[in-house]
Amino acid sequence: MTVGKDVSGLFPDVLKNMQTEDLEQKKLVYLYLMNYAKTQPELVILAVNTFVKDTDDINPLIRALAIRTMGCIRVEKIIDYLCEPLRKCLKDDNPYVRKTAAICVAKLYDLNPELATENGFVAVLQDMVSDANPMVVANAVTALAEINEASTTKDIFVINTPTLTKLLVALNECTEWGRIAILTALADYRPSDSKEAEHIVERVIPQFQHVNGSVVLSAIKVVMIYMRIIKTDEMLRQLVRKMAPPLVTLLASAPEVQYVALRNINLILQKRSDILQNEIRVFFCKYNDPPYVKLEKLEIMIKLANDKNVDQLLSELKEYASEVDVDFVRKSVRAIGQCAIKIDEASERCINVLLDLINTKVNYVVQEAIIVIKDIFRKYPNNYEGIIPTLCQNLEVLDEPEAKASLIWIIGEYAERIENADELLVTFLDTFRDENSQVQLQLVTATVKLFLKKPQATQNIVWRLLQIATSECDNPDIRDRAYVYWRLLSTDPQAAKAVVLSDRPVISVQGNTLSGPLLEELINNISTLASVYHKPPETFLGRGRFGADAVQRRAIEEQEEASRESPIQAQVKTNIENLLDLDFNDNSATPTSNTPPSSSKSTNATANVDDLLDLFGGSNMNNDLSTPPQSSSSNNHQNNGLTNDLVSLF
């Protein structure tokens, strides 16, 4: 059974072994029943008497095992026999049996909500929150949370002051699963005032020392939510100081746990950037870190960068640029540029580091550095033009569209300060048809900028480029942009300067910053999958529960649908049969018109074309179509006239 073989045929024989005194054998029999009860719903009724008998056993392990197995057998016929044993187990003297029965109530509610409510099981479960045993309290909270989520009224589990006291007492004494359940319930509770919030937070803070990372993150979630209510500045500063050590400790775990912790830390820093402001060294990448951990650490280092630690960070990022992982190297070089954009005082130091990386002559490093420097030029215009000759020297090694587009943008933006700007752009012009659309768009704009700044020397270049872009380019974006520029230049050069040479908006750090409402929602979901995906739960979870039973039922339905013939396919077959019944030799179907079909078709086509041409001035178009093409000399004469008209505007 555990290796995937079907042993359901042994069901009657296994049933005979239920009444055994051996606990291990009884566990195996019950495990078999849970797996194959759905395939033998008629025979599983025979096991009810043994279940009921075991719930009265003197051994609490057997009583708990019996009620757990009855709850896991999801067969409708056994539900009626579950109520009485479940009622006894909920009142059992042993806490182990009670905590097992509490989970069984949630399973019963999932199968038959009306039965669970009418028999008072939900009310008993609500009373069990006040149980003296913390394990029972934790399981009761877990079951009530499940029932409350599945209910339509959402009022089954409401925390009041007595319940809150019980939860806080049980928090320090139950297992880690129980602590997570209680902390999740506390996160949904809304304190009445700041004083109550401070009291709850003080009781939750000891969970920061727990060895389980999920408990730590759940406690941090409660504190982050309650910090919205706390008004005391001194209390907020204390909480910020106390949250840093447990977050740092999580980074000493396994890589998978580190990744989850880093994704949650990313959210926390977007909300409270001062929590880890002095702990940037903890996020420095190690040689054996997996790539996904390194990339997350890079993002967090950028968020923690400030004028005090930027030198330390830049030296670390420069080391990363010599790694063998190309993707990580690119992200490291981009992080240097983000430091320059974020911290004004460090921009010159970042430029020097990028120049050192360009001098290494490593292809992908040079190209990424040029992309980054373009963003720095946008942030600090007219500050670092002295490095442009160094960038232009690497023109021939560029083979990536984004790097080419960045360098073309720099050439067009600072064309008046680059003596051979026209020569540099001409090198791209020769291969314009083969370039990526990103490069083509940037080249059109840069060439127009060059013409507006040096009109006398570059009119042939701009005319040639616009001619190619409008007549030989298939991309509508490029063609439309070229037409717009041509129309601007030929009608109003001053308007063209105002549009093309206008000031660009100042850019900021291009990080994965979330919007305010989304960030607040994700803070409420710390330590869940939503905090790892950085997406609300409803974007990757269905609105209803879709468990194993639903999956199995759906698979059976799909097989039944596949076995039956589709009505659409049947209709297609009928249509084909009707089509085959047509008699094309029937004279009654022959048209009686004396006009040949070809002539009528040509007449209709000509009429349609004439109607279409009338919309655009048909006579002129007909004349144009009938006129032979002009000679090459007349074309050249016309082109020269257009160029002279364009230049005369300046």
Asked whether residue 218 carries a pLDDT value surpassing 90, the answer given is: yes
pLDDT of residue 571: 52
Low-confidence winner among 18-27, 110-119, 604-613 (lowest mean pLDDT): 604-613
pLDDT of residue 647: 47
* pLDDT digit string, tens, across residues 509-520: 665 678 888 999
Residue at 602 is within a domain: no
Residue 460: C-alpha distances to residues 497, 500, 643, 644, 646 (Å): 19, 19, 8, 10, 10
Residue at 378 is within a domain: no
Asked whether residue 629 carries a pLDDT value surpassing 50, the answer given is: no
Asked whether residue 604 carries a pLDDT value surpassing 70, the answer given is: no
Q: Which of 485, 509, 533 is the last residue of a domain?
A: 509
Pair 194, 230: CB distance under 8 Å: yes
Pair 265, 279: CB distance under 8 Å: no
Low-confidence winner among 34-38, 262-266, 354-358, 397-401 (lowest mean pLDDT): 34-38
Q: Per-residue pLDDT averaged across 587-592, rounded?
A: 42
Asked whether residue 445 carries a pLDDT value surpassing 80, the answer given is: yes
* pLDDT digit string, tens, across residues 59-78: 889 899 989 888 888 777 77
Q: Per-residue pLDDT averaged across 299-318, rounded?
A: 91
Name the residue with higher pLDDT: 198 or 511: 198
Residue at 486 is within a domain: yes
Using CA atoms in the order 182, 184, 185, 187, what is the torsion angle rounded to 10 degrees? 130
Name the residue with higher pLDDT: 536 or 649: 536
Q: In terms of residue numbers, what domain contains 498?
A: 400-509
Residue at 532 is within a domain: no
Residue at 560 is within a domain: no
Name the residue with higher pLDDT: 587 or 208: 208
Q: Which of 454, 480, 509 is the last residue of a domain?
A: 509
Q: Which of 96, 126, 158 is the last residue of a domain?
A: 158
CA 8 to chain centre: 42
- Please enumerate in sequence order all residues whose Cβ is within 8 A of that of 283, keeping only pairs 6 or more positions apart, or say none: 251, 297, 300, 301, 304
Asked whether residue 471 carries a pLDDT value surpassing 50, the answer given is: yes
Residue at 451 is within a domain: yes
Name the domain count of the chain.
2
Residue at 561 is within a domain: no
Residue 50 is part of a domain; what is its CATH number? 1.25.10.10
Q: Per-residue pLDDT averaged across 477-482, rounded?
A: 90
Average pLDDT, the chain: 81
Asked whether residue 645 carries a pLDDT value surpassing 70, the answer given is: no
Kindly report the backbone phi and psi dihedral angles of residue 91, in degrees, each rounded to the nearest multiple of 5, phi listed first.
Answer: -105, 10
pLDDT of residue 553: 66
pLDDT of residue 551: 61
Pair 235, 228: CB distance under 8 Å: no
Residue at 611 is within a domain: no
Q: Per-residue pLDDT averaged across 305-311, rounded?
A: 89
pLDDT of residue 569: 52
* pLDDT digit string, tens, across residues 529-577: 999 999 988 888 765 445 555 666 666 676 667 666 555 554 544 454 4
Asked whether residue 48 carries a pLDDT value surpassing 90, the answer given is: no
